[in-house]
Amino acid sequence: MTVRVRFAPSPTGRLHLGNVRAALLNWLFARKSNGRFLLRLDDTDKERSRPEFATAIEDDLRWLGISWDEFARQSDRLDRYEAAAEKLKADGRLYACFETPEELKLRRFGQIADGGAQVYDRAALRLTERQVADYAAEGRRPHWRFRLEHAETGWEDLIRGRCAYHGTKLSDPVLVRADGMPTYTLASVVDDVEFAVSHVVRGEDHVTNTAVQIQIFEALGQAAGELKFAHFPLISDIGGHSLSKRLGSLSIENLRNDGIEPSSITSLIARLGTSDPIEVMEKPADLVDGFSFSKFGRASPKLDPDEIVRINAKLVHRLPFSAVADRLPAGADAAFWESVRPNLSKVGDAVEWWSIARSAVMPINAEPDFLTEAARLLPPEPWSADTWGAWTKALGASTGRKGKELFLPLRLALTAREHGPEMKSLMPMIGRSRTLARLEGRKA
């Protein structure tokens, strides 16, 4: 059996860490199994779906390095859902309901007050033909619910193990809205059938849906057990609470604007909550080997936003010049990149060191006497990687200083920073005239 999976976002917002995890895990599973990965836009909600979000989702996925083998849009397939709905009506599994959204809302409030289960009471099933005719005469358009089997529906989840729900604990789902549009619940199952999806991989916010979807799947004539499920736990914030409140700051758009590399995101997201260590991988394909649902735990992992930056720093320390050349300031070469790289946590931070090497810097000159002596001993050009060593050795001998006392004032004078890349590689880039001026406390 060929593995076919799908990532099915609704274009009602940008991608964030939570969504992307679903996309990545599906993609990894497809790659691991030599299967196919389908991107499907679940845009049956006309009110909230927007084409610009669809475009943004595709852009974000491409940026992350997640590619898809097939593409579908639910709004292109409405005839398929209508055909399925007709079949279910013919089989007596879909029944017309006339409650307004307001009535349903009130009924739910009442159920909460009574402490009862918030399950649709199937009032529409008890409507007489006369009542139905009256509603029609009033001009009310029905919405359609799927009559659930009041039995236990279960499945063997690839992450959660045995799961089961009893039909009496579930509401008959609305499959067709009063305006005739299908809901996600119908469209999703129809697509899973027609695209021959083999595994549904998604967050555990969908577990309860699964029992319902299996019933619809069967009502559509599919054999139970043909579709496998894997529900992974949702990520929580560092305090252990739902991540949803801070999704904005964890949107892919935001992380990208912050200078985070796509691989830092995929490296973290693919391994978080698994028994594999979180390692820096240069591309998503490097995460395929060893990927397995059996390595996922059932508890919600906490995500520390600092972790993303730490991973990014490690990644940047390894990136070759060729991978970043087009993002460095004009003129920056491989030698520059390799000398500043170990001190960066983001590629963009390189510009700061480029300007320290090539533009005017106001030095921090706390010890003029010492720096005057340093200027006196400054070797003539040409300078190399050995110049710093020779210079500081001579300066140490002449002043009796060593260690931090010797080196820190020089670093402050030459770069105006306490920390930074190795001075021996920075110094030739700064050059003698600029160095001399900075030692004398002049901006240069």
Partner RNA sequence: GUCCCCAUCGUCUAGAGGCCCAGGACGGCACCCUCUCACGGUGCAGACCGGGGUUCGAAUCCCCGUGGGGACGCCA
| 349 lies in the site for RNA, by CB under 7 A | no
- Out of 78, 247, 278, 309, name the contact with RNA by CB under 7 A: 278
- Kindly indicate which of the ranges 21-29, 200-208, 325-333, 374-382 contains the residues binding RNA, using the contact rule CB under 7 A: 200-208
| 205 lies in the site for RNA, by CB under 7 A | yes
| 121 lies in the site for RNA, by CB under 7 A | no
| 407 lies in the site for RNA, by CB under 7 A | yes
Give the integer Cα–Cα distance in Å for 147 and 96: 10
Sign of CA dihedral 317, 319, 321, 326: negative
| 265 lies in the site for RNA, by CB under 7 A | no
Torsion from C-alpha of 140, 146, 149, 155, nearest 10 degrees: -150
- Kindly indicate which of the ranges 122-130, 131-139, 228-236, 365-373 contains the residues binding RNA, using the contact rule CB under 7 A: 228-236
- Kindly indicate which of the ranges 55-63, 147-155, 222-230, 298-306 contains the residues binding RNA, using the contact rule CB under 7 A: 298-306
- Residues 239-258 binding RNA (CB under 7 A) are 240-242, 244
Least distance from RNA to the Cβ atom of residue 356, Å = 13
- Considering beta carbons, is residue 185 or 198 the nearer one to RNA? 185
DSSP codes of every residue in 314-379: HHHHH--HHHHGGGSPTT--HHHHHHHGGG-SSGGGHHHHHHHHHS------S-HHHHHHHHHTPP
- Kindly indicate which of the ranges 87-95, 169-177, 359-367, 432-440 contains the residues binding RNA, using the contact rule CB under 7 A: 169-177
- Considering beta carbons, is residue 198 or 392 the nearer one to RNA? 392
Contact 163, 207 (CB under 8 A): yes
Number of residues that bind RNA (CB under 7 A): 89
- Kindly indicate which of the ranges 63-71, 129-137, 270-278, 327-335 contains the residues binding RNA, using the contact rule CB under 7 A: 270-278
At residue 6, the 3 state secondary structure works out as: strand
Least distance from RNA to the Cβ atom of residue 156, Å = 13
Dig out the tokens for 409 from the structure. Answer: 């004032």
On the question of a cis peptide bond just before residue 9, with omega within 30 degrees of 0, the verdict is no
Give the integer Cα–Cα distance in Å for 277 and 268: 10
Dig out the tokens for 10 from the structure. Answer: 């609704």
| 271 lies in the site for RNA, by CB under 7 A | yes
| 435 lies in the site for RNA, by CB under 7 A | no
- Kindly indicate which of the ranges 52-60, 219-227, 309-317, 321-329 contains the residues binding RNA, using the contact rule CB under 7 A: 309-317
DSSP codes of every residue in 120-179: ---GGGG--HHHHHHHHHHTPPPEEEE---SSEEEEEETTTEEEEEEGGGSPPPEEE-TT
- Residues 28-47 binding RNA (CB under 7 A) are 42, 44-45
Least distance from RNA to the Cβ atom of residue 259, Å = 17
Contact 110, 103 (CB under 8 A): no
Question: With left for phi above 0 and alpha for psi between -120 and 50, is residue 226 left, alpha or beta?
Answer: alpha
Contact 3, 34 (CB under 8 A): yes
| 421 lies in the site for RNA, by CB under 7 A | yes
DSSP alpha helix (H) spans, 241-325: 252-257, 262-271, 305-318, 321-324
- Kindly indicate which of the ranges 20-28, 85-93, 236-244, 436-444 contains the residues binding RNA, using the contact rule CB under 7 A: 236-244
Inter-helix orientation angle 423-430/432-439, to 10°: 100
> Nearest to residue 186, comparing CAs of 232, 165, 217?
217
| 165 lies in the site for RNA, by CB under 7 A | yes
- Residues 376-405 binding RNA (CB under 7 A) are 385, 388-389, 392, 403-404
- Considering beta carbons, is residue 100 or 372 the nearer one to RNA? 100
- Considering beta carbons, is residue 92 or 115 the nearer one to RNA? 115
Residue 422: phi, psi to the nearest 5?
A: -55, 130
Least distance from RNA to the Cβ atom of residue 330, Å = 25
| 26 lies in the site for RNA, by CB under 7 A | no
- Out of 51, 110, 248, 297, name the contact with RNA by CB under 7 A: 297
| 346 lies in the site for RNA, by CB under 7 A | no
Q: Count Cβ neighbours within 10 Å for each residue of 6-40 and write b for 16 or more, e otherwise.
A: bbbbbbebbbbbbbbbbbbbbbbbbbbbebbbbbb
- Residues 80-119 binding RNA (CB under 7 A) are 97-101, 104, 108, 112, 115-119
Least distance from RNA to the Cβ atom of residue 403, Å = 5
Contacts of 359 (CB under 8 A, 6+ apart): none
Least distance from RNA to the Cβ atom of residue 436, Å = 19
- Kindly indicate which of the ranges 54-62, 81-89, 267-275, 281-289 contains the residues binding RNA, using the contact rule CB under 7 A: 267-275
Least distance from RNA to the Cβ atom of residue 34, Å = 26
AA identity, residue 292: S
Strand 143-146 with 174-176, pairing: antiparallel
